[in-house]
Chain A
Amino acid sequence: MKEKTRDIISSLALIALSLFGLYLTFDIPEPFRDYDLGAAFLPRMVLGLIGGLAALKIAVAWMENRTTVVEVFDAGQIWKGGSTIVLVGLYCLCYKPVGFLLDTLIYLFIQILILVPKEKRRVWKILVIDVIATAVIYLIFSRGFSVRLPQGLITFL
């Protein structure tokens, strides 16, 4: 992908965001005090500036016509990156229903498995690190700092 294309796509996304934000500001009631600018004034100004700067970015990208090619990810990187994003997302979503201990045990194991280079992948080693790390973190926070971490499915601890 060319740098110009990237800049144009990202600027269009920012314009869309600013328009959506501006649309939302119309729900904000008008000020009731004299001389108050109101709760919508600064958000409108900021969103307007974001849209304006994004439009300026498109103009600059168009006029400068940069042909530099932006680094693209190969299939392996996309798989690693994509699966990491999904995994972290699931970890955060399951934090309460599954509970800290089980959620962390599963997350750490799969995450390390994804990140470790194939030639260095030793399942038993990853499992040992996973269990020790989870236990140590749990003990430090729940016993050491009395943090009530979500119990989820494991209710007997």
Chain B
Amino acid sequence: MIQQGLMAVFASPACLVWIFVGTLVGLIFGCIPGLSAPIAVLLFLPMTFGMDTITGISLLIALYVGSTSGGLISAILLKIPGTPASIATVWDGGPMRDKGEAGRALGIGILYSFIGGIISTLALIFVSPFLAQVAMKFSIFEYAAMTFMSLAVIASVCDAPMINSLIGGLLGLFLSFVGMDAFSDVTRFTFGSRQLLSGFSMTSLLIGFFAVAEIFKYALQKQSDQGTVLAAKIKGFGVSWREFREQFGNMIRSALIGIGIGILPGIGGSTSSILSYTVAKNASKHPEKFGTGVIDGVIASETANNATVGGALIPLLTLSIPGSTVCAIMLGGLQSHGVFPGPLIFQKNGELMYAIYAALIVANIAFFLFEYKGINLITRALKVPTYYMLPIVVVMCAIGAFTDNNRVFDVKVIFFFSVVALILNLMRIPSTPLIIGFILGPTLELNFRRAIMYDQGNLAQFFTRPISCVMIIIGCIMLFWPIYQSIKRFFQTRRGHDSTKEA
């Protein structure tokens, strides 16, 4: 099985070509501000329907890896993060560029992105079989509790006010209820439409939210200059052997942060890069130098954001819980190919799992080569204006929605969801909890209702089973701790105001 999986990638010229193409396209999408990893993966999703499973999934992985690492190019050369995951790279990569060290910053960024990617691939290889074995012991109670915990974690750690994140997650759950009930032939919220009997297509929802809505946001924002692209020549990797040894601890710590953040559902590369940058700064002997162009900041940010990729794939493949938006799209891709991730994936699709490992390694090597040797080619893409790219993206998205089920209804659905995404954006309700809520909704409902029926209307087993009980407690802490903190802060501020008035 291992040999078959690895050979399906390494010995297949078509698969290798698609991985290289995917990585290059991902790099271009990652380095152009305004285009992101979800858009890149969504655009190619319909193409994968016509490919065999391993080639299709390898292409999606290559796009994910490429677009995550492409952000560093514009972060350094334009001082604008190409993707949210490279925000922290700008903080020290930008000043290095100003000091005339753009080539060195790029060399360091590329090297540590590669190392981060490889470490996270190793984590995926060693952690996922173990996690899958643990998950085999899960019953309906643990599945329902795990879904609740995931939703609570997403709501509490999302980069938005907690109430808004919770509302987002609940709206996602609500959307997942549209269609026919899984237990009976009862229809819900379909308004008599036959097209809605199977509910909303995940691909259409994702395209509407993450790709088409982007053009609305772009049109509504004040247009600014795309910035001047600085030409940079990379010589070596930008670090001496002594510096590499000095930064070893920073590298390992950042990689572990990236993997850990990746495993947590709902938060992705941006959080991991900012968090590892902050940790590196706090642990540094010279924290005052951070932000002035030190290599520590670039290393922390780039190692962490690339390490998120492998981390995010762990819960996706073994528990069927997407750790990020891109993983949610990949889940759609896997399901379209008849692959249903979960604890049994090693038994049912073992060949695919090993092929995914191989694809990750090849994609990491590919982006390393492209960025290191073809930086001039990629920076040319930075000069293509977004106003030409976005309308073409919309056209490709419409095809993507259409090919999902071969029906025009889904094309109309992407427009509906793009408008919903825009309205929610204006209301400051984040999209990520909504998407995760939509994906986890059926799992939550199915397992919760089964558990209640199994226990004859009783909730007791949720608390008498240790794993389920721990998950519910973690979920409750994640939900209520921030609420408690904000209530405490509110009353403290109020007391402060009252004492000032009295004085």
Contacts and interface: CB of A to CB of B under 8 A. Distances in A.
Contacts of A117: 223, 387
A85 B419 contact: yes
B448 interface: yes
Interface stretch (B126-134, B183-191, B341-349): B183-191
Interface stretch (B227-235, B283-291, B451-459): B451-459
A80 B219 contact: yes
B167 A81 contact: no
Nearest to B422: A85
Contacts of B186: 28-29, 39
B114 interface: no
B455 to A, nearest CB: 8
Nearest to A13: B427
A107 to B, nearest CB: 7
Contact of A53 (B50, B170, B183, B412): B170
Nearest to B392: A133
A67 interface: no
B14 interface: no
A56 interface: yes
Interface string A62-98: 0110000000011001101101110011011101100
Given A36-B453, A114-B219, A116-B387, A133 B395 contact: yes
Interface in B379-427: 385, 387-388, 390-392, 394-396, 398-399, 402-403, 406, 408, 411-412, 414-415, 418-419, 422, 426-427
Contacts of A77: 219-222
A147 B390 contact: no
B39 interface: no
Contacts of B392: 108, 133, 137
Contacts of A54: 167
A146 interface: yes
B452 A129 contact: no
Contacts of B399: 100, 137, 141, 147, 149
A92 B390 contact: no
Interface in A3-31: 6, 10, 13-14, 21, 24-25, 28-29, 31
B215 A84 contact: yes
Contacts of A157: none
A129 B389 CA distance: 10
Given A35-B457, A84-B215, A24 B415 contact: no
Contacts of A120: 385
A147 to B, nearest CB: 5
**Majority-rule SS of B interface residues:** helix
Given A104-B395, A149-B402, A88 B212 contact: yes
Q: Which of B49, B412, B429 has the most CB of A within 10 A?
A: B412
B142 to A, nearest CB: 19
**Majority-rule SS of A interface residues:** helix
Contacts of B159: none
Contacts of A32: 184
A37 interface: yes
Contacts of A131: none
Contacts of B396: 137
A18 to B, nearest CB: 9
Given A43-B177, A89-B415, A95 B408 contact: yes
Given A107-B395, A112-B387, A141-B399, A24 B412 contact: no
Contacts of A73: 220
B481 interface: no
A145 interface: yes
A39 B188 contact: yes
Nearest to A148: B406
A91 B394 contact: yes
Contacts of A88: 212, 215-216, 394, 415, 418
A107 B188 CA distance: 35
A35 B456 contact: yes
A115 interface: yes
Nearest to A125: B388
B443 to A, nearest CB: 12
A29 B177 CA distance: 15
A134 B392 CA distance: 8
A10 B164 CA distance: 11
B171 interface: yes
B408 A43 contact: no
A29 B181 CA distance: 11
A85 B216 contact: yes
B124 interface: no
A32 B47 CA distance: 44
Q: Which of A41, A74, A91, A146 has the most CB of B within 10 A?
A: A91
Q: Which of B50, B449, B452, B490 has the most CB of A within 10 A?
A: B449
A28 B415 contact: no
B174 interface: yes
Contacts of B388: 112, 116, 129
B378 interface: no
A114 B392 CA distance: 14
B248 interface: no
7 contacts: A37-B452, A43-B177, A46-B173, A53-B163, A85-B419, A91-B394, A112-B387
Given A43-B174, A108-B395, A133-B392, 12 more contacts: A32-B184, A35-B453, A42-B449, A43-B188, A50-B174, A53-B166, A84-B216, A85-B216, A112-B388, A114-B219, A115-B387, A137-B392
Interface of B: 46-47, 49-50, 163-164, 166-167, 170-171, 173-174, 177, 181, 183-184, 186, 188-189, 212, 215-216, 218-223, 385, 387-388, 390-392, 394-396, 398-399, 402-403, 406, 408, 411-412, 414-415, 418-419, 422, 426-429, 444-445, 448-449, 452-453, 456-457, 490
Q: Which 10 pairs from chain A and chain B are nearest by CB?
A: A81-B220, A115-B387, A10-B427, A39-B181, A84-B219, A111-B391, A92-B415, A145-B50, A96-B408, A35-B457
